[in-house]
Amino acid sequence: MHKRSRWLGGLILLGLAATLTFFRIPLASSQGLTLRSAPVTGALPVSDPGSALWLEATAIEVPLSAQNVTRPMLPDTRVKTVTARALHTDSQLAIMVEWADETHDDSMIRVQDFRDAVALQFPLAAGQPFFCMGQQGGNVNIWHWKADWQADIAARADMNTLYPSMHVDQYPFTAAVDPLAVAPADYVDPNYLPALASGNLFASATRASPVEDLIAGGFGSLTAQAAEGQNVQGYGAWADGAWRVIFARDLTSSEAEDVTFAAGQVYSMSFAAWDGANGERNGQKSTSQWVGLQLGAQTDGAAQPDQPRPSQSSAAAPSDPLGMLYVFGPMVLVAGLIMALAGGALALSALLRPKDRP
Amino acid sequence: MAEVYNWHLGRSMAYAFPEAHPQKQFAAVFNINRCIGCQTCTGACKATWTFSRGQEYMWWNNVESKPYGGYPQHWDIHILQRLDEAHQAAGKQAEWDQAQAGESAPYGVYQGLTITEAAGAEQQALGYIPPDTEWRAPNFYEDTSTGYQGDRLGISTAGASLPEHQTWFFYLQRLCNHCTYPACAAACPRKAIYKRPEDGIVLIDQARCRGYRKCVEQCPYKKSMYRGTTRTSEKCVACYPRVEGSDPLSEGVPMETRCMAVCPGKIRLNGLVDIAADGSWAEAPNHPLYHLIKIEKAALPLYPQFGTEPNIYYIPPRWAPRPYLRQMFGPGVDEAIARYAAPSRQLLAVLQLFRTTQRMIFRFEIEEGPLVLETEVNGQPWQMFNDTVIGFDAKNREVARLSVVEPIHERPAERLNSI
Ligand code: SF4
Ligand code: SF4
Ligand code: SF4
C-alpha cells in the first residue's frame, strides 16, 4: 500500500510536469520589470522619436520570445528584445518602442508581403490574465501599430504601387476617370470591396492613425473596436536598421473596451513584435511577459530624471504567485523522474528476486 | 486536434475541429473527358465576382493543362513534394490498402499521412504561399503535352491509341472544393472561415479576416487568394445566391453556379446532396450526383490524400497514364475509367443530364427505351438502349428530359439554305 501510494505520487508529479512541459505553458509572468513613465508638461512628442524629451524617460529593455502556446507558431521569430520609454502629461500618455530590424517591410499588397508591426497589451480588469491575448473573462486592450498603415497615411498603397506597369481597361462600379488610379474611395458601390462594405478597418479608404485599437479575450478572439472607438494615435519611422514607434492616447477614456490610466498608479502591460520579412503575422510573433507600467506622479512640472532604475526586487512590480511554478516546474519534473526511476528499479528488483522455495 | 471520419480515406484522421456536418453539401461532378479547355467557366466567374481592384490576378475557377500546367504554377507538385518529404521523415509510405474497401471506405484505406497529420506541432497543416509570379495566368503551359514520340515524318501511329496515349495532356477544371474538412478553416487563427450548415459552402468572413494568409498557405488546392487592395483574403463563394435560390433568376429554387451553368463542353453537373448526421451521404440512388459518385463510382475526389474530403468529383480522362491518375484521384481510377468506357444503362442515362438546365437537379427517373446498338468495348459485349432520363428540381418539377440517342431533325429541301 505504502509503495503504491509512493508510485502514484511520483506518477502524478511526473504527469503534471510533463503536461506543463508538453503544452509549454509558461507560468512565469512577473519578471520584475517596470516601465516608469516620466511626467512632463506641454505637448508630448507623439510624432517625433528624436525629440530630446524622450531622454527624460528611463528606457527599459524588454526581452521577447517566440509565441509557443498555440498554433500557428514560428520558433525562430526575429525580434528578441525591444526598448521602451514612456512619458505622460496630466492628460496624455505616450510610449515609444524601439527595436532592431534590418528590413523595412511596410507593404501588404503582394501575396508574399507581410508588414512589420508592434503591439502593446493592457489588462482591462485588475490582475493579470494570460499574457498572450488574455483569456475568457480576462479581456485585454491591444494597441497594434502597422508599418503598412503608417505608409498608407502618406499615400495609400494599392496594386499600381507594386505593379506600376499594370494595365486595366476599367473597374466597374467606380467613379474614377483613370482606371489605374482607382482607390477604395472611388467605389460607388462598396459591395465590390466586401471587406470595406462589412466595416473591416483593413480595407478603409482612408487612415487617421497607424494604430488599431482592439480587444481580445483569448486566442482567436481579437476584435477591432468600432471605427468611432479608434482613439490611439501613433507614429513610426524606420532608420538605420531600427524601428522607433510611438503610441499615444488620452489617459482616460469613456469606453469600456479601453484601458484608463492615472498618475501614481501601477499597471500591467506587455509587448509583441513582428518581422514581416520573416513571414511573421498573427500568433507567429515575439511576445514579452507582463511588465509593470507606472505613471510617476506629476511634480512641479519637471521631469524626474533621477527615478530609480528598475530592479528585480522592485516592490512596484506586480506580484504573481503562479510565476513561482515556472521555477518549480523543472524541479518537479526532475523529482518526478527520479521517483519514477526509483520506483521502477524497486519493482524490477522485486520481479527479478528469485522466488522463495519451500 | 479532434478525430474525424473521412470516407475518402476510409478512416479517421486528425482535424482542428470536431465533426459537425451540414444538412446538405454543395458538390459537383466534372467529366474531364469532355472538357475543351475553352475557359468559358473561368471567364464567367471573373465577370461575376472578381473584376474589381485587387482581384486582377484572381481566378476562382481556372482550367489547367496537366501534367505541366497549374494555377498557381506547379501548386500540386509543391504540396505533393512537401507531403513526400514528410513521409520520408516519418518512414511512411503514402499507400492505400484496397483490400479494406467497403461501404464506408469505397476506395480502401489510406495508410499515409494527410497534410494535417504531416504538419508537426507548429502548424495546422503542411503548406506554402505561392509568390505573385506563380499566379500570373490561369493556365500556364496551356495545351502542352508530354514529349511527342513521332516517326521520321513526325507522324505518330501509336500516339493516340488507348488505353494510354503515348503523348498526352488533359484539362483539369478547378475551383474551391468546399471541403468537408477545410484546411483553410483549420489554418485561420481567427476562425474567420466557416462552413455553412445549410449547404456546406465555405466562406471567409470579410469583417473578421485580418489578411494573415494562413488559408492561402494551407489550402492544399490554393483556392484561397489574397487581395492587396482590401488586405484580406477572398475565395470562391460557390455563387451562393444562386445555390440558395435567392438570385432573382432562380425563381426560388437552387440553381447551378455561374461556372457550371455556362460550360459549352457540358462537362459539369452541380447540386446539393443530403448529408446524414454522421457525415455520410444520405442514401439517394436517384440523385444524379449520388448515383455517379456513390453507386457507379465513376467520379472521384481530387487528391484525396490531402485529407480535406473535397466535394468536386472528377470522371478521370481515359487516355492518361494510370499511375499519374492514381496519384491524382486515388486508387478508384481503374474502376472509374472502366465504368465510364462501358457505361451501364443508368450511367449512360445520367450522363445526359450534364448542362441541360440551370436549375439544380435533385432527382432523376429513367424511362426505358429500345436496344439501339450492340457492339464490343474493350473486348466485352456492350449494348446501348435509347432510354430517356428525366430530371426534377428542388420542387420536384420536371426540368430536363433527354434521350440517350439525340433526336435528328432533317431540314426540308426547300429550306436547306434558309437561316
Ligand atoms: S479547397 Fe481550399 S479554400 Fe476551398 S474549402 Fe478546401 S481548403 Fe478551403
Ligand atoms: S462557384 Fe461561382 S464563385 Fe465559385 S468558381 Fe464557380 S463561378 Fe466562381
Ligand atoms: S467551360 Fe466547360 S468545357 Fe470550357 S473549359 Fe470550362 S469546364 Fe472545360
CATH number of the structural domain spanning residue A117: 2.60.40.1190
Mutate to test the interface with A, among B206, B209, B212, B240 (most CBs of A within 10 A): B206
Closest B-chain CA to A22: B121
Q: Predicted ipTM?
A: 0.92
Closest CA to B237 of B271, B202, B272: B202
Chain B interface, Cβ < 8 Å to A: 51-54, 56, 121-124, 129-132, 135, 187, 189-191, 205-214, 216, 225-232, 234
Give the confidence band of A351 by pLDDT, cuts at 50, 70, 90: very low
Q: Is the pLDDT of residue A323 over 50?
A: no
Q: What is the CA(B203)–ligand 1 centre distance, in A?
A: 9
Query: What's CA A108's distance to the chain center, in Å?
Result: 20
- Sign of the CA dihedral running B210, B216, B219, B223: positive
Say how far apart CA B225 and CA B232 lie, in whole Å.
9
The pLDDT of B122-151, averaged and rounded, is 90
| Residue of B416 and B360 predicted with greater confidence | B360
Q: How do residues A159-216 score in pLDDT, each as one tens digit?
A: 999 999 999 999 999 987 788 889 999 999 999 999 999 999 999 999 999 999 999 9
User: Is residue A165 situated within a structural domain?
Assistant: no
Query: What's CA A243's distance to the chain center, in Å?
Result: 16
Q: How far is CA A17 from CA A20, A75, A256, A331, B410, in A?
A: 5, 22, 39, 9, 86
Model pLDDT, residue A341: 52
Kindly determine whether residue B210 and residue A109, on different chains, have CB atoms separated by under 8 Å. no
Model pLDDT, residue A299: 59
Instruction: Look at the block and give the residue holding cell 508538453.
Output: A22
Give the confidence band of A31 by pLDDT, cuts at 50, 70, 90: low
Say how far apart CA B331 and CA B121 lie, in whole Å.
30
Are A277 and A339 found together in one domain? no
Least confident of A333-342, B1-10, B379-388, B392-401: A333-342
Are A346 and A258 found together in one domain? no
Q: Which residues of B touch A212 (CB under 8 A)?
A: none
Q: Which residue puts its alpha carbon closest to atom 3 of ligand 2?
A: B236
Give the confidence band of A342 by pLDDT, cuts at 50, 70, 90: low
User: Is residue A7 situated within a structural domain?
Assistant: yes
The pLDDT of B142-160, averaged and rounded, is 78
Give the confidence band of B263 by pLDDT, cuts at 50, 70, 90: very high
Say how far apart CA A19 and CA A45 lie, in whole Å.
47
Q: Is the pLDDT of residue B270 over 70?
A: yes
Say how far apart CA B51 and CA A192 lie, in whole Å.
9
* CB of B63 closer than 6 angstroms to any ligand 2 atom: no
- Pick from B115, B196, B201, B219 the residue to mutate for probing ligand 1's pocket: most ligand atoms within 8 Å of its CB: B219
Are A220 and A278 found together in one domain? yes
Q: What is the CA(A112)–ligand 2 centre distance, in A?
A: 24
Kindly determine whether residue B189 and residue A72, on different chains, have CB atoms separated by under 8 Å. yes
Kindly determine whether residue B53 and residue A158, on different chains, have CB atoms separated by under 8 Å. yes
Are A56 and A3 found together in one domain? no
Q: What average pLDDT does chain B have?
A: 95
Are A338 and A255 found together in one domain? no
The pLDDT of A240-250, averaged and rounded, is 98
Are A279 and A328 found together in one domain? no
Are the beta carbons of B49 and B33 closer than 8 angstroms? no
* CB of B176 closer than 6 angstroms to any ligand 1 atom: yes
Q: What is the CA(B347)–ligand 3 centre distance, in A?
A: 21
Kindly determine whether residue B53 and residue A159, on different chains, have CB atoms separated by under 8 Å. yes
Give the confidence band of A339 by pLDDT, cuts at 50, 70, 90: low
Q: Which residues of B touch A198 (CB under 8 A)?
A: 205-207
Give the confidence band of A21 by pLDDT, cuts at 50, 70, 90: very low
Mutate to test the interface with B, among A111, A144, A207 (most CBs of B within 10 A): A111
Three cell numbers at A99? 527595436
Are the beta carbons of B60 and B236 closer than 8 angstroms? yes
Kindly determine whether residue A159 and residue B54, on different chains, have CB atoms separated by under 8 Å. yes
Say how far apart CA B211 and CA B234 lie, in whole Å.
9
Say how far apart CA B373 and CA B317 lie, in whole Å.
24
Kindly determine whether residue A71 and residue B132, on different chains, have CB atoms separated by under 8 Å. no
* CB of B261 closer than 6 angstroms to any ligand 2 atom: no
* CB of B173 closer than 6 angstroms to any ligand 2 atom: no
Give the confidence band of B419 by pLDDT, cuts at 50, 70, 90: low
User: Is residue A107 situated within a structural domain?
Assistant: yes
Of the candidates B124, B187, B226, the beta carbon closest to that of A111 is on B226
Closest CA to B400 of B293, B258, B271, B290: B271
Q: How do residues B375-397 score in pLDDT, each as one tens digit?
A: 999 899 999 999 999 999 999 99
Kindly determine whether residue A110 and residue B228, on different chains, have CB atoms separated by under 8 Å. yes
Quote the percentage of chain A above a pLDDT of 90. 65
Q: Is the pLDDT of residue B232 over 90?
A: yes
What SS3 state is found at B384? strand
Q: Which residue puts its alpha carbon closest to atom 8 of ligand 3?
A: B35
Q: Which atom of ligand 1 is nearest to the CA of B224?
A: 3
Strand pairing report for A266-274 and A233-239: unpaired
Is some CB atom of chain B closer than 8 A to the CB atom of A110? yes
Class of residue A136 by CB neighbours under 10 A (exposed 0-12, middle 13-18, buried 19+): exposed
Q: Is the pLDDT of residue A329 over 70?
A: no
**Phi, psi for A283 (deg, rounded to 5):** -70, -5
Q: Which residues of A touch B234 (CB under 8 A)?
A: 194
Model pLDDT, residue A135: 86
Are A285 and A328 found together in one domain? no
**Phi, psi for B78 (deg, rounded to 5):** -60, -45
Q: Which atom of ligand 3 is nearest to the CA of B61?
A: 6
Q: Which domains does chain B have, with CATH numbers?
A: 2-143+167-341 (3.30.70.20), 345-403 (no CATH)
The pLDDT of A112-139, averaged and rounded, is 91
User: Is residue A170 situated within a structural domain?
Assistant: no
Task: Find the residues whose C-beta lies inside 6 A of ligand 3.
Answer: B 35-41, 63, 171, 173, 263-265, 267-268
Is some CB atom of chain B closer than 8 A to the CB atom of A71? yes
Model pLDDT, residue A26: 37
Closest A-chain CA to B228: A109
Bridge partners of B232, per DSSP, are B227
Q: What is the CA(A281)–ligand 2 centre distance, in A?
A: 29
Kindly determine whether residue A111 and residue B214, on different chains, have CB atoms separated by under 8 Å. no
Q: How many helices (H) and strands (E) does chain B have?
A: 10, 19
Give the confidence band of B265 by pLDDT, cuts at 50, 70, 90: very high
Q: Is the pLDDT of residue A319 over 90?
A: no
Q: How do residues B192-222 score in pLDDT, each as one tens digit?
A: 999 999 999 999 999 999 999 999 999 999 9
Q: Which residue spans within B90-152 are E strands per DSSP?
A: 96-97, 109-110
Closest A-chain CA to B190: A220
Q: How many CB atoms lie within 10 A of CB B63?
A: 27
Q: How many CB atoms lie within 10 A of CB B75?
A: 21
Mutate to test the interface with B, among A200, A201, A221 (most CBs of B within 10 A): A200
Model pLDDT, residue A316: 36
Q: Is the pLDDT of residue B183 over 80?
A: yes
- Pick from B267, B302, B314, B315 the residue to mutate for probing ligand 3's pocket: most ligand atoms within 8 Å of its CB: B267
Q: How far is CA B370 from CA B374, B384, B385, in A?
A: 12, 9, 5
Say how far apart CA A343 and CA A345 lie, in whole Å.
5
Mutate to test the interface with A, among B210, B234, B237 (most CBs of A within 10 A): B210
Which ligand has an atom closest to residue B177 CA?
1
Q: Is the pLDDT of residue A269 over 90?
A: yes
Q: Which residues of B touch A281 (CB under 8 A)?
A: 211-213
The pLDDT of B13-42, averaged and rounded, is 97
Query: What is the domain extent for residue A231?
Result: 33-156+206-295
Is some CB atom of chain B closer than 8 A to the CB atom of A158? yes
Q: Which residues of B touch A113 (CB under 8 A)?
A: 228
Model pLDDT, residue B409: 87
User: Is residue A303 situated within a structural domain?
Assistant: no
Task: Give yes or no for a cis peptide into B197 (omega within 30° of 0).
Answer: no
Are A8 and A123 found together in one domain? no
Say how far apart CA B95 and CA B254 lie, in whole Å.
39
User: Is residue A279 situated within a structural domain?
Assistant: yes
Which ligand has an atom closest to residue B143 CA?
3
Three cell numbers at A15? 504527469
Are A284 and A351 found together in one domain? no
Q: Is the pLDDT of residue A336 over 90?
A: no
pTM score of the predicted model: 0.88
Query: What's CA A258's distance to the chain center, in Å?
Result: 16
Are A252 and A149 found together in one domain? yes
Are A24 and A63 found together in one domain? no
Model pLDDT, residue B152: 74
User: How many domains are there within chain A?
Assistant: 2
- Pick from B30, B34, B39, B41 the residue to mutate for probing ligand 3's pocket: most ligand atoms within 8 Å of its CB: B41
Are the beta carbons of B22 and B285 closer than 8 angstroms? no
Is some CB atom of chain B closer than 8 A to the CB atom of A69? no
Of the candidates A159, A199, A281, the beta carbon closest to that of B228 is on A159
Say how far apart CA A69 and CA A22 lie, in whole Å.
10
Q: What average pLDDT does chain A have?
A: 81
Say how far apart CA A45 and CA A52 lie, in whole Å.
9
User: Is residue A177 situated within a structural domain?
Assistant: no
Q: How many CB atoms lie within 10 A of CB A116?
A: 28
| Residue of A264 and A11 predicted with greater confidence | A264
Q: Which residue puts its alpha carbon closest to atom 2 of ligand 1?
A: B219
- Residues B255, B258, B259, B263, Cα dihedral to 10°: 80
Say how many Å lie between the first and final Cα of chain B, rounded: 65
Q: Is the pLDDT of residue A7 over 80?
A: no
Q: What is the CA(B312)–ligand 3 centre distance, in A?
A: 15
Q: Which residue puts its alpha carbon closest to atom 4 of ligand 3?
A: B38
Are A234 and A270 found together in one domain? yes
User: Is residue A191 situated within a structural domain?
Assistant: no
Kindly determine whether residue B51 and residue A71, on different chains, have CB atoms separated by under 8 Å. no
Q: How do residues A38-78 score in pLDDT, each as one tens digit?
A: 999 999 999 999 999 999 999 999 999 999 999 999 999 99
